[in-house]
Structure 1
Amino acid sequence: MDFQRKETYDIDDLLQIMKLLRAPGGCPWDREQTHKSIRNCLIEETYEAVEAIDGDDPVLLQEELGDVLLQVVFHAELEEEAGRFAFADVVDGIAKKMVQRHPHVFGTVVVNGTEDVLTNWDAIKKKTKDQKTQTEVLQSISKALPALMRSQKVQQKAAKVGFDWPDVSGALDKVAEETTELREAIQDGAQESCTEELGDLLFSVVNVSRFIGVNPEQSLSEACEKFIARFAKVEQLAKERGMDMASAGIDALDKLWNEAKIMK
């Protein structure tokens, strides 16, 4: 294969590497892949980059951003082979979008802060995508997003046209209302109703998070970490006291949980 090793590589080298991996005589695994077969790789690499950001780890972030970029290059190469578009078209498209969506930087539009920027962005996006109604705006939000993130975006877009509570109290009341309806569905034993009402409750909780300025995805992730940490303390206490957690019963475990909450 005609490839020159270097001390430092650039984007053109990466594109060539991908072409060589996909070429006859290249890597058997890479040659077998399709958009769908590596779909989850893009998701996983993105979340690993996010984890590096959350951990404030620039060394790891550099590596993970490279992994994300590789996925972009991989998908673009598949499309170039199919004759539909190439990596250069991806770059051209996003560059044009950035110029178009920032008329206050690349044009003559004047803004007075972030809110003006976001308002202009939404208006330009709606126009370029030929969205004539706000319903079309809501429908354009990706269904592949994590449900909490998608819920937040749907609510934000609906609020743009005034479909919103005046303050957080209305959102909190809705949580209480949906909790009651979920209890009723559970009592009735109808699985379909339970699924619907649980969804309504989660959607309402996300609405509260929006009012108080909390990212629901991050909040739930931190809650998971807190639960794991406290569970570890409960397990430690149970072991120290010769308790079998599986047979101890929820009352005994709840007492350990309360102890764990106040442990340093």
Structure 2
Amino acid sequence: MKLKGVDSVEYKIVVIGLGSGDIDQLTMGIYRKLKQTDHLYLRTSDHPIIKELEQTENLTYTSFDHVYESYQRFEEVYDHIADTLFEQVKIVGELTYAVPGHPMVAERTVQLLLERSQKEKVNVEILGGQSFLDPLFSALKIDPIEGLTFINAMDFDAEDLSFNDHLVICQVYDQFIASEVKLALLDHLPHDYEVIVITSAGNKDEKIVSVSLHELDHDRDINNLTSVYVPPIKEKLGLYHTFASLRRIIRQLRGPEGCPWDKAQTHESLRPYLVEETYEVLEAIDEEDDHHLVEELGDVLLQVMLHSQIGEDDGYFSIDDVIRSLSEKLVRRHPHVFGDKEVQTLEDVGETWKQVKEKEPGRESDQSILQNVNAALPPMLKAADYQKQIEKQGIKLIEGDPWKKLSGLIDDYASSKDEKRLGDVLFTLIYIAKIYKHHPYLSLEKTNREFAARVHRVEKELGEHSFRDLSREQIQSLWENNQTK
């Protein structure tokens, strides 16, 4: 393969693949190229074919093995190799660069050469070589048409993997990388899940070992020709932690053979459940109980999934649209993370968020400053948000001593018994709570919990009796003796 657009360039790098390791599988053309080239560079000399040719053909070459010890990141190693090859080819005119396997399979240095070739005005020619995938499939006895994910051990995110397909993780160079792969997979698979470690697939040194996942990094024979095969999960229970599995469950619940209750729900009928589940999340947070929090967050997620499935069933939107909308918003409102904007303080972050938000469609600047306050919020939360929005405009709601203001409002309410005066008292209390960085909702909820705990203590002392079994004086005494400590 020659790069288009640079055929007239005098400099040329010929990239050849050494195959999976068996010299009998090497084509005659590549064999001749290895023997006849005047300038041979190897990404690594740790390859069975190179070792054999050193003995039989007195092969001479320059290896990049030493470069791996000079950098902490593989990407830096690959950049160094590409830089060196471009520098050398402009001195000698033409050189050969040999890599394990096929040059176009899991070879980042080759991709760098191709990406930079036009800028460097160097022709890059690919001569091929057998990929290790063919002997790998034969050794494992798998058919990739059934679904295959093929990834690099040094650059993958386990969150993106589908464990429904055959999974091959290549370039597991050593025990350290094997350990990294193990830890990533253990987040999704049981510790005793069986995986296969295969080294030197397709040649006489081929080694295939089945191990439990937690033992993946115990094999001392792991080298640069090692790959790990993870068979597809057969038990659906093993996939219950994945988003795809949850989506299938929700779809089935509302499907033709699903649950009558789930199928009957609408956006409107689910409204009270979303509010209820949200409050239960807050309760779990207050309890500092992680197990309870996991459960309650799951219940909130269920509401999101049900609303999204209803939208999909009605043909208006799906969970994909929900996720896309959220992702776009997060990226758009964080230009200091996903763009080139610079911020120094939390106040800068808030101002950036505000500026971006104001420019979004449907948020014209001539609308009310209260437009961002959700009308469906409970009154206490809505009052706190109203005060927050007003103070952003530089307006101070209470001039002077807020406690004196509150005292006057309480006197007004005591004398008038007017419900509106009670609202003024509560609104002012919310303002005072904000001054002291207290959240009125959380403060009241704490008192509610203490009150409930006091009632439970009284009930516990009653034992098999009820309040009706005691006199008013006995009940009051019991109540007073169980005050919150």
Aligned-pair CA distance for 1:30: 0.9
What is the rounded CA distance, in whole Å, between the counterparts of 2:238 and 2:336 in structure 1? 40
Give TM-score, length-normalised by structure 2.
0.46
The Cα RMSD (Å) is 2.9
What is the rounded CA distance, in whole Å, between the counterparts of 1:124 and 1:185 in structure 2? 47
Rg larger in structure:
2
Distance 1:65 1:84, change over 3 A: same
Q: Which amino acid aligns with 2:408?
A: E
The equivalent of 2:359 in structure 1 is 127
The equivalent of 2:447 in structure 1 is 223
Aligned-pair CA distance for 1:96: 0.7
Correspondence for 1:12 among 228, 244, 268: 244
Whether the 8 Å CA contact 1:234–1:253 is kept in 2: the answer is: no
The equivalent of 1:76 in structure 2 is 308
Give TM-score, length-normalised by structure 1.
0.81
The equivalent of 1:54 in structure 2 is 286
Structure with the bigger RCO (C-alpha within 8 Å, sep 6+) is 2
SS at match of 1:7: helix
The equivalent of 1:197 in structure 2 is 421
Structure 1 window deviating more from structure 2 (57-66 vs 81-90): it is 57-66
What is the rounded CA distance, in whole Å, between the counterparts of 2:258 and 2:478 in structure 1? 60
After the TM superposition, which residues 143-222 of structure 1 pair with which residues of structure 2 at under 5 Å, given as runs?
143-165=375-397, 170-186=401-417, 194-222=418-446
What is the rounded CA distance, in whole Å, between the counterparts of 1:84 and 1:122 in structure 2? 30
SS at match of 1:80: helix
Higher share in helix: 1
Q: Which amino acid aligns with 1:88?
A: D
What is the rounded CA distance, in whole Å, between the counterparts of 2:292 and 2:347 in structure 1? 33
Aligned-pair CA distance for 1:76: 0.6
Aligned-pair CA distance for 1:131: 3.9
Aligned-pair CA distance for 1:7: 1.5
What is the rounded CA distance, in whole Å, between the counterparts of 2:298 and 2:479 in structure 1? 45
Aligned-pair CA distance for 1:163: 1.2
SS at match of 2:237: coil
Whether the 8 Å CA contact 1:49–1:61 is kept in 2: the answer is: yes
The equivalent of 2:275 in structure 1 is 43
**How many aligned residue pairs are there?**
244
Aligned-pair CA distance for 1:25: 2.0
The equivalent of 1:189 in structure 2 is none
Q: Which amino acid aligns with 1:110?
A: E
Q: Which amino acid aligns with 1:121?
A: W
Distance 1:253 1:94, change over 3 A: same
Q: Which amino acid aligns with 1:223?
A: T
What is the rounded CA distance, in whole Å, between the counterparts of 1:8 and 1:39 in structure 2? 30
What is the rounded CA distance, in whole Å, between the counterparts of 1:51 and 1:179 in structure 2? 31
Whether the 8 Å CA contact 2:274–2:300 is kept in 1: the answer is: yes
What is the rounded CA distance, in whole Å, between the counterparts of 1:210 and 1:153 in structure 2? 11
Correspondence 1:90 to 2:322 = yes
Aligned-pair CA distance for 1:182: 1.4
What is the rounded CA distance, in whole Å, between the counterparts of 1:115 and 1:140 in structure 2? 19
Aligned-pair CA distance for 1:254: 8.9
Correspondence 1:142 to 2:377 = no
What is the rounded CA distance, in whole Å, between the counterparts of 2:351 and 2:257 in structure 1? 51
The equivalent of 2:471 in structure 1 is 244
Structure 1 window deviating more from structure 2 (58-67 vs 71-80): it is 58-67
SS at match of 2:329: helix
What is the rounded CA distance, in whole Å, between the counterparts of 1:119 and 1:20 in structure 2? 44
Aligned-pair CA distance for 1:260: 4.8
What is the rounded CA distance, in whole Å, between the counterparts of 1:196 and 1:202 in structure 2? 10
Whether the 8 Å CA contact 1:126–1:137 is kept in 2: the answer is: no
Whether the 8 Å CA contact 1:111–1:117 is kept in 2: the answer is: yes
Whether the 8 Å CA contact 2:277–2:300 is kept in 1: the answer is: yes
Aligned-pair CA distance for 1:229: 4.2
Distance 1:197 1:87, change over 3 A: same
Aligned-pair CA distance for 1:29: 1.1
Distance 1:204 1:55, change over 3 A: same
Structure 1, unaligned runs of 5 or more: 187-193
Aligned-pair CA distance for 1:31: 1.0
What is the rounded CA distance, in whole Å, between the counterparts of 2:398 and 2:409 in structure 1? 19
Deviations 1:90-123 (A, max 9, x none): 0000001111111111112221221211122223
Aligned-pair CA distance for 1:124: 2.2
Structure 2, unaligned runs of 5 or more: 1-234
Whether the 8 Å CA contact 1:131–1:137 is kept in 2: the answer is: no
SS at match of 1:138: coil
What is the rounded CA distance, in whole Å, between the counterparts of 2:250 and 2:457 in structure 1? 48
The equivalent of 1:190 in structure 2 is none
Aligned-pair CA distance for 1:234: 7.2
What is the rounded CA distance, in whole Å, between the counterparts of 2:258 and 2:416 in structure 1? 57
SS at match of 1:140: coil
Structure 1 window deviating more from structure 2 (52-61 vs 68-77): it is 52-61
Distance 1:176 1:74, change over 3 A: same
